[in-house]
Amino acid sequence: MTRSEKRSKTVSARQDGDTIEILAPAHLSDEELQPIIAHLTGRIERRAQKEALDDANLHAIASELNHRYFQNTLHWASITWSMQQNKRFGSCTPIDRTIRISHRLAHMPRFVQEYVVMHELAHLLEANHGPRFWRIVEQYPLTERARGYLMAVGLEQLDDEA
């Protein structure tokens, strides 16, 4: 940590290799700095996690599912990993055709990722979770297995899914 008399209010952090450098005003105590440092290092760590995720992999999964189950008829503006989704596995905004997949799925088995992407692709055709929606999703043969996996790890909420 570098303390500076020239710095009057702001605390900043930057990563240099494996080290996070904190720049802080000299007058702030260690006790005052502790929550600020925790917040800033958390932000840097989340940014590094997001950069490690490959949106191209999600696009490849979506393209493969689009070909296999939708005869390449679906079109989306973007499909990206999201660090903001801690209660949902994915979300789709049909009006602007954007799909976001929770970073929590990045280390789960491929069939679980495929299921969640299939779920979100289905929202491009059907915005709700009605019978037609589930007929679309259940074209994916590992739907029940993936839902069971998500339930087993304690993530799936049956009432407010994906």
- How distant, in Å, are the alpha carbons of 27, 56, 81 from that of 60? 52, 6, 13
Range of 7's domain? 2-52
* Count: domains in the chain: 2
Q: Tell me, what's the pLDDT at 43? A: 77
Tell which of 35, 52, 69 closes a domain.
52
Do both 8 and 59 map to the same domain?
no
15-43: per-residue pLDDT in tens?
Answer: 777 788 888 888 888 888 888 888 887 77
What is d(CA 57, CA 73) in angstroms, rounded to the nearest whole number?
A: 20
Do both 63 and 128 map to the same domain?
yes
**What are the helix (H) ranges across 71-138?**
110-123, 131-137
State the average pLDDT for the chain.
86
Do both 9 and 88 map to the same domain?
no
Q: Tokens for 135?
A: 């007929």
Residue 149 has pLDDT above 50, yes or no: yes
Determine the average pLDDT of the residues in 98-105: 93
Whether 32 is covered by a domain: the verdict is yes
Do both 60 and 40 map to the same domain?
no
The H-or-E segment that residue 45 falls in is: helix 30-52
Determine the average pLDDT of the residues in 132-155: 91
The H-or-E segment that residue 60 falls in is: helix 55-70
Do both 10 and 33 map to the same domain?
yes
Please report, for the domain that includes residue 137, its CATH number.
Answer: 3.30.2010.10
Residue 6: which residues within 8 A CB-CB, separation 6 or more? none
pTM, entire model: 0.70
Q: Per mean pLDDT, which range of 37-51, 57-71, 94-108, 124-138 is the poorest?
A: 37-51
AA identity, residue 48? A
